[in-house]
């Protein structure tokens, strides 16, 4: 693998948990649990490969319309991650960030997420960014309204300061598992020049070698950013 062509920032649309569970005649929560385990392994591997930011699409604004039982199961997984697994990430010198409107989540989950960010080491070599109740349209409207409130006229540079992803470079590569070929409201502004990679693999089956395959494919893409080579 060409180390000069490792994406600095990967966005990961972790889709297919429900179908993975259905294939096993299990409830959707079983798939989400397996998806969380897959995400933990992928984050470790991304870090080993030299990726600096991994943004995992964990819950979209539209996902909030799912049955409360499924959402409660997901909140339980967030509780588990942010009490137990996050420590391991910290001790490896990595940190977490959260993007999205978490104010609608149960109070204890909000506190865990905010503490998770606060307790992250400074100057991390790797950031795991959870997109939770995240939607690009809501993010863009929020940014515009914040700027209007301040009376600030925006330009390409200052606009980024109003986005949840402030300070994080745009994703170089966006991976979507689960077979659908769409972005489903994920990082629409930031993905203007991202390379897109789609795989039929359902997220719980997306392992280290699958991530390597995506990075390998990325390394072969010619990124022109509108210019001619």
Minimum distance, C-beta of residue 59 to ligand IPE, in the bound complex (Å) = 5
Stretch of 52-60, 100-108, 139-147, 217-225 contacting ligand IPE, by CB under 6 A: 52-60
Minimum distance, C-beta of residue 17 to Mg ion, in the bound complex (Å) = 7
Backbone angles phi, psi at 129, to 5 degrees: -110, 115
> Which two tokens mark 47?
């870090």
Check binding of 201 to Mg ion (CB under 5 A): no
Check binding of 14 to ligand IPE (CB under 6 A): yes
Angle, helices 107-118/68-80, rounded to nearest 10 degrees: 30
* 215: Cβ contacts below 8 Å, ≥ 6 apart: 1, 6, 7, 49, 51, 173
Site string for Mg ion, 36-65 (x = CB under 5 A): ------------------------------
Cβ neighbours, 10 Å, residue 74: 23
Check binding of 15 to Mg ion (CB under 5 A): yes
Which of the listed partners (Mg ion, ligand IPE, none) does 171 bind, with a CB threshold of 5 to 8 Å by partner kind?
Answer: none
Closest CA to 187 of 9, 4, 34: 9
Backbone angles phi, psi at 130, to 5 degrees: -90, 120
Check binding of 57 to ligand IPE (CB under 6 A): yes
Minimum distance, C-beta of residue 60 to ligand IPE, in the bound complex (Å) = 4
- How is the chain split among helix, strand and coil, in percent rounded to 5? 50, 15, 35
Check binding of 206 to Mg ion (CB under 5 A): no
Q: Which residues bind ligand IPE (CB under 6 A)?
A: 13-19, 57-60, 63, 74, 178, 180, 182, 184
Catalytic site positions = 15, 63
């Amino acid at each position: 693998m060409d180390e000069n062509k490792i994406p600095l920032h990967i966005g990961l649309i972790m889709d297919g948990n429900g179908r993975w569970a259905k294939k096993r005649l299990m409830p959707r929560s079983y798939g989400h649990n397996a998806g969380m385990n897959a995400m933990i392994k992928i984050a470790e591997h991304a870090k080993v490969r030299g990726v600096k930011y991994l943004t995992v699409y964990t819950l979209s604004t539209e996902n909030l319309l799912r049955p409360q039982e499924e959402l409660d199961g997901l909140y339980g997984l967030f509780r588990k991650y942010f009490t137990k697994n996050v420590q391991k990430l910290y001790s490896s010198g990595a940190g977490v960030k959260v993007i999205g409107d978490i104010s609608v989540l149960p109070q204890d989950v909000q506190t865990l997420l905010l503490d998770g960010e606060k307790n992250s080491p400074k100057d991390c070599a790797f950031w795991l960014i959870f997109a939770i109740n995240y939607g690009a349209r809501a993010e863009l409207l929020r940014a515009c309204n914040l700027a209007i409130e301040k009376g600030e006229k925006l330009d390409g540079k200052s606009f980024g300061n109003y986005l949840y992803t402030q300070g994080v470079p745009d994703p170089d590569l966006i991976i979507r598992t689960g077979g659908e070929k769409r972005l489903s409201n994920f990082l629409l502004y930031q993905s203007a020049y991202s390379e897109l990679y789609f795989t039929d693999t359902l997220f719980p089956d997306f392992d280290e070698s699958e991530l390597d395959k995506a990075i390998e494919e990325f390394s072969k893409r010619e990124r022109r950013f509108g210019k001619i080579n």
